Each structure stands twice: as C-alpha cells, then as structure tokens.
Amino acid sequence: MSNSSLDPADKTPRAASTRSPVTDDAVRAVRVLIDAYRLSAESRDIDVILRGILDGLAQLVAYDAAGVYVLGRSSRRVRHWR
C-alpha cells in the first residue's frame, strides 16, 4: 500500500506495537531448540540426541537431575532414556 492511497486528512499517529520485546532468555531458548533439532537431523544415535537435549537444557536452567524419555508409539513404554 502506498502513502498516496492514505487519506491525507488523517493525521492520527499510529499506536506503538503492543507486542512484548524479545528477551535474551527467549532468544537463548530458541537457539537451544534449533540446536536440538539440528542434532536430531544429523545424528541417528539416540544417546547422542538425548545427551544433546540435556546439554541444551542445562544452558537454560540449573538442575540437579533431569531425564528425557522416548516412548514407543503404540506401547507407550519407555524405549530410551538418558
């Protein structure tokens, strides 16, 4: 849309965006998710993938213990864990 199509009589200033600013923590979380996705695309070793997920999680939150479990589709039984 060009400025010529706007009504020249309308001089009302536009409201500032109401979206929240992106925080450093949100950017870091997205980067960790992207890294986990890339790792899962590059490696077929489930232990490498699960370790990578936990390493990424450690960059986001401090924890004493954490676990990642992969469940079977039909059985809903734990297939892999780390």
Is 62 strand, coil or helix? Answer: coil
* Tens digit of each residue's pLDDT (9 = 90 or more) over 22-38: 888 889 889 988 998 89
- CA–CA dist 47, 43 (Å, integer): 10
- pLDDT number for residue 24: 87
- pLDDT tens string for the chain (82 positions)? 545 555 556 666 565 566 777 888 889 889 988 998 898 899 989 888 888 888 988 988 898 998 888 888 888 888 877 7
Residue with tokens 């790792």: 39
Whole-structure pTM value: 0.60
* Burial 23-33, CB ≥16 within 10 A → b, else e: eeeeeebeebe
Residue with tokens 């600013």: 21
Single-letter residue type at 62: A
Domain parsing of the chain, residue ranges: 23-81
